[in-house]
Amino acid sequence: MQGIKVFIPTESKIEYLNSLLKVGFDTIDAGSFVSPRYVPQMVDTPEVMEKIEWKDSATKLSVIVANVRGAIEASRFPQITYLGYPFSISETFQLRNTNSDMQKALNTVRSIRDLSERKGKEFVVYLSMAFGNPYGDPWSLEIAEKWVGEIDKFNLKYISFSDTIGVAKPDVIEYFFRHLTKVFSHIEFGAHFHTTSDTWREKVEAAYQNGCKRFDGAIKGYGGCPMAKDDLTGNMPTENLVAYFDEMKEEIGLNRTHLQEAMKIAAIVFPP
């Protein structure tokens, strides 16, 4: 929802999240503790966290934080399992997204890691612009691997490769998951793909066939990153992921009736 300029009413957000909590997803990214000045859509995340019906669901909740202050606020909520922080390997995007350079962002990773351990939260770093950037900042597979190594010094369990602007190619995705999962075998790597309608399958297949078991999606591919550029590249459609894993005979444990109900609500909640 964060990239949508029309404010979605709080009650609509709660209704939608409650419908998703019935589906059986492992984790739902349920909000962001970020500056309302930059992302006004997420100003009501604390209220949403208070009111969603999470206690009867086995689904874990994740939120995005952009700094230590946001992490402190998010850590007050027992219903939140994961704190996610976007660390960009593009200096320009790091400044646009979190108003800090990469060294300061690396220090923030350390601080949020320490806070997460004290508060009993899991910490996920999203490696933003992992597959390239539109700003002319240096990028290569070697640069990406270097930054994974820097983050690994903080003993993290989870890193998600984020194709923030939808430029990842299958051969590069294959390398990431085939090579880096061997070098950093103690890390669970995830795939956060942004995509167009004609490239989603090749991205999922390249990651899945090379060991990725953690995929992010959004129903109908709604949304994108509001800080990336003016024209958003949509998220990976959840229903495409479900169809692919069905084809691969993967049992993902979703209630399909509740999934269809959530998709109907999404069509109402999200503006055309």
CATH of the domain at 151: 3.20.20.70
| Run of H or E including 146 | helix 141-152
Tell me the pLDDT band of 228, cut-offs 50, 70 and 90: very low
pLDDT at residue 3, rounded to an integer: 80
In a domain, 265, yes or no: yes
Query: pLDDT tens across 202-216, in order?
Result: 999 999 999 999 999
Instruction: Please give the average per-residue pLDDT across 1-20, as a whole number.
Output: 94
Tell me the pLDDT band of 193, cut-offs 50, 70 and 90: very high
In a domain, 1, yes or no: no
In a domain, 4, yes or no: no
Question: What pTM value is reported for the model?
Answer: 0.93
Our measurement of the distance from residue 114's CA atom to the centroid of its chain's CA atoms, rounded to an integer in Å, reads 21
What is the amino acid identity at position 36?
P
Evaluate if residue 233 carries a pLDDT over 90: no
pLDDT at residue 225, rounded to an integer: 57
In a domain, 3, yes or no: no
In a domain, 84, yes or no: yes
Tell me the pLDDT band of 227, cut-offs 50, 70 and 90: very low
Residue 113 DSSP SS3 = helix
In a domain, 213, yes or no: yes
Query: pLDDT tens across 22-78, in order?
Result: 999 999 999 999 999 989 999 999 999 999 999 999 999 999 999 999 999 999 999
First to last CA, the chain: 13
In a domain, 247, yes or no: yes
Evaluate if residue 232 carries a pLDDT over 70: no
Full strand arrangement of the beta sheet holding 188-193: 27-33, 60-65, 80-88, 122-128, 158-163, 188-193
Contact between 123 and 116 under an 8 Å Cβ cutoff? The reply is: yes
pLDDT top residue among 99 and 14: 14
Count of domains for the chain? 1
Instruction: Please give the average per-residue pLDDT across 166-172, as a whole number.
Output: 94
User: Mean pLDDT of all residues in the chain?
Assistant: 93
Q: In which domain, by residue range, is 32 found?
A: 10-269
Evaluate if residue 218 carries a pLDDT over 60: yes
In a domain, 222, yes or no: yes
- CB neighbour list of residue 94: distance below 8 Å, 6 or more residues apart: 87, 88, 100, 101, 102, 105, 128
pLDDT at residue 179, rounded to an integer: 94
In the structure encoding, which two tokens stand for residue 192, read together? Answer: 């956060």
pLDDT at residue 230, rounded to an integer: 42
pLDDT at residue 213, rounded to an integer: 94
